[in-house]
Every structure is written in C-alpha cells, then in structure tokens.
Amino acid sequence: MASPRIGSWIKIPKERLQQLIDTLASDGYRVVGPRIRDGAIILDDLTDIRQLPAGVVDEQDGGHYRLREDPTAGWFDFVVGPQSLKPFVLPPREPLLQLQRTSETWQTETPEIDDRPVAVLGLRGCDLHALSIMDRVFLEGPYVDPRYEKRRASLFLIGVHCRRAAPTCFCHSLKTGPALPAGFDLGLSELEEHFLLEVGSRRGAAVAARLQGEEPASGEITRARMATRALEQRMHDRPLHGDRRTAGRWLETDHLRDRLLGNLEHPRWSEVAERCLACANCTMVCPTCFCTTVEEVSDLSGDSVTRMRRWESCFTWEHSYTTAGPVHPTTQSRYRQWLTHKLASWHDQFGTSGCVGCGRCITWCPVGIDLTEEVAALGNEVPHA
C-alpha cells in the first residue's frame, strides 16, 4: 500500500492499535503509553493494548487525584497524569561528564545518550504545545542542548484529541487544546468501534501505511472533530455556568503579563505564601519547567568524578543561592518568581506563555493551590507603570 498523504485520515478497528504498537516496536522504538501504576495514569512501556486504561477516568481537583471505572468511557477519556513528555527529553537525572584523574592530568569522557527512539502514545494538545515550548528553550537561540536535541529527534508522537476535560483543565483559555495542534506523527480520534488516525508527518505516514486502515466513511471525520469541539464549547460555557466539576477552569489571559508584573507588591502574594509549602511539586510536574542544576559527585579518593544534571526548582533554597545567600529567601518571593516567570516574563524570554493549561500544578499541589485562582485574585486592573 502506498503511504497515505500528510493530512489524510485512515480508520482502524480499535483492537488494531496492537498492530500500531507492534509495528513501532519492530521499527526499533521503545513504545510508551498510558498505564495505571500506584493509583495514577503514568507513561510507561506498552507492549499490549490490554495494558491501556480503557474505561477508566480520572477525578482531578486541587490536591486530589483518583481513578474510577466509567462504563461510558472510551479508551482515552482520562486526561493528563503526573508525568508529561518532559522526562523523555530531559531526564530527571543524567550524567553530563565523567572525569578521571591520571598521574598528569584529568581525562574527560562524555557519557553516551541512550538514543533508542521512543514512541509515545496518548499525548494531548497541552502536551504537544509544552513540547514546542521546550523546543524553544533547548533548541533555539545560540546555545543548543545536544542531549535534548538527540532525544527530541528520535521521538515519535501519537496524539489523542480530547473528548473529556478534568476540572483542572484550562487549555481552552490558552488555546492549547482540547484539539491537537500540529506536531504529531499520528493523531487519534476515538469513535465507538474505531479510531481515526490523522497522518501528521512522513514518519507517521510510513507507519500508517502498514496498518491496513480503510478510508473513513462519509461524515466520520466531522463526527470525530465535533466531539472535541463540543468539549471545547462546554469548557467555554463553564465559567458562565460556574460548574467547575465538569469541564475545566479558566485563566484570563487579557493583559496577563502586565497585570502580573504591575502587581508585584499585591497582598495576595503573602496570602498564597501562607499556604504554599515550597515543596516544588508544581515545578516537577509542569511540562515546561526546565530548570536543572549540576552537581559533581566524586569517589572517596577524588580521582573519579561524575558531573550530574538533575531537575531543579525555583521553589528550593538552593535554586537562587549565591555566595551572598539566596536571591529568593522567602516562599513569597519564590511563588511570585515562579508565577510571573511562567505567565509573564516567559513571553519576553521565549515569545510564548510558559503555561499550557494542563492543570498538573493544581492537581499535584499537596495543598491544592490553584494558579488560575491566584491570578484572578490579583485582579483585572493593569496598574500604570
């Protein structure tokens, strides 16, 4: 069969996702996708479609996450779990350099990157937007991160158009979902008995060609798109009806940068600091928080040293430590730094918001601090500079 064109659609029975997994595996990909572990849906190795959490949905709210079975749910009607794509392009810990002292000098060696290509199934609009933001951070500008670049190039991305939102979702207010943006290799839409696959790249086309798909029947593509559009409409209507349980939160983006940067002394910052634990969970689960630090670990003799990179957070004391002490000594200054960077100065730095509305920082905050609520509490006024 000739490869389908980019932008074309094929229809496969649901069970044929197994063939998609097998095809990718035979092409040398490590296939990962949504699986249940320890009460949450995480991204992990996927070999069998029976490992997918079909018929399961997630209840999410501030500081709250539970899974439950839902007889009306399809194969992908849960939303995002604690993990994003971040660990696949920026591992939590990795060695950057190995140093060995010889009698005369130091020998250095750059550890190899495990560059086995990874195919990720089940990514959402917010996830793909987050990846494009990470690309700006690591691949654009004068300093390209070679380790990120290598891992990023070997990713095969299989997206899913959302049909359901959690109460913590607010992608619609940032226009990052619930539909998939460009950037996927294959884009899945779920019907009753079938998946529609939209071909997003040449790599995606080559894989799709081997799935023995058929052409969608008349109206099926429209029907699939309507499910996501109807969700988006429900999310937009939600602020009017005030029912946050069903379809998401709202982040008002009008003049957001100036509202935040013009309100640096607002009393709300000290109020949120009374609740904030500075535990760093929000930044760890955020798909775009990219801060890392570098530590050198040596053996007892000091002759063998490994330079390690690991995720760091602007909520830690260490993050802003200089010889004179931390630049952000208080929880108040750390929370303000995080929120104003994410939503305001990120625009100046990278030409985009750092937030994609996935809601992970709300769900996985142990005390349920909600950034949409914090932004709203700062008010709609743009103070005059």
Partner 1 sequence: MVESPSKRPTLAVFKFASCDGCQLTMLDCERELLAIADRVEIAYFLEARSRTLDGPYDIGLVEGSVTTEHDAERIREIRDQCRTLITIGACATAGGIQSLRNWADIDDFIRQVYASPQYIETLATSTPISDHVKVDFELRGCPIDKRQLVMLITDLLLGKQLRVPRYSVCLECKLKHTVCVAVARGVACLGPVTQAGCGAICPEYARECFGCHGPKESANPVSLARHYQRGQHDPSHLVHLLSNFNAAAPPFRNAAEMLEQNSPLSNEGRS
Q: Which residues bind partner 1 (CB under 8 A)?
A: 37-40, 42, 63-66, 82-83, 87, 92-93, 274-281, 284-285, 297-302, 310-311, 313, 315-318, 330-331, 363-364, 366-368
Pick between residue 214 and residue 295 the one whose CB is nearest to partner 1: 295
Give me the least distance between CB of 284 and partner 1, in Å please. Answer: 4
| Best CA proximity match to 122, nearest among 158, 87, 86 | 158
Encoded tokens for 384: 């005059």
Shortest Cβ 298–partner 1 spacing (Å): 6
Q: Which is nearer to partner 1, 189 or 313 (CB)?
A: 313
We find the least distance from the C-beta atom of residue 362 to partner 1, in angstroms, to be: 10
Instruction: Round to whole Å and give the CA distance between 175 and 232.
Output: 10
Minimum distance, C-beta of residue 342 to partner 1, in the bound complex (Å):
17
**C-beta of 83 vs 154, nearer to partner 1:** 83
For partner 1, the closer CB: 254 or 299: 299
Strand order in the sheet with 292-298: 106-109, 93-101, 304-311, 292-298
Residues facing residue 121 across a β-bridge: 158
C-alpha span between 127 and 285 (Å, rounded): 12
Q: Strand pairing of 325-326 and 321-322?
A: antiparallel
Q: Could you tell me the smallest distance in angstroms from the CB atom of residue 121 to partner 1?
A: 18
SS3 category, 325 = strand
Residue 39 has which token pair?
């009460």
Give the list of residues 6+ apart from residue 143 with CB closer than 8 angstroms, or none.
Answer: none
Nearest distance, CB of residue 258 and partner 1, angstroms: 29
**142 vs 302, beta carbon nearer partner 1:** 302
Q: Which is nearer to partner 1, 9 or 338 (CB)?
A: 338
Helix (H, G, I), strand (E, B) or coil at 333: helix
**Secondary structure (3-state) at 349:** helix
End-to-end C-alpha distance for the chain, whole angstroms? 63
Tell me the C-alpha distance between 313 and 290, whole Å.
9
Q: How far apart are CA 187 and CA 307, in angstroms?
A: 39
Nearer to partner 1, 208 or 280 (CB): 280
We find the least distance from the C-beta atom of residue 34 to partner 1, in angstroms, to be 13
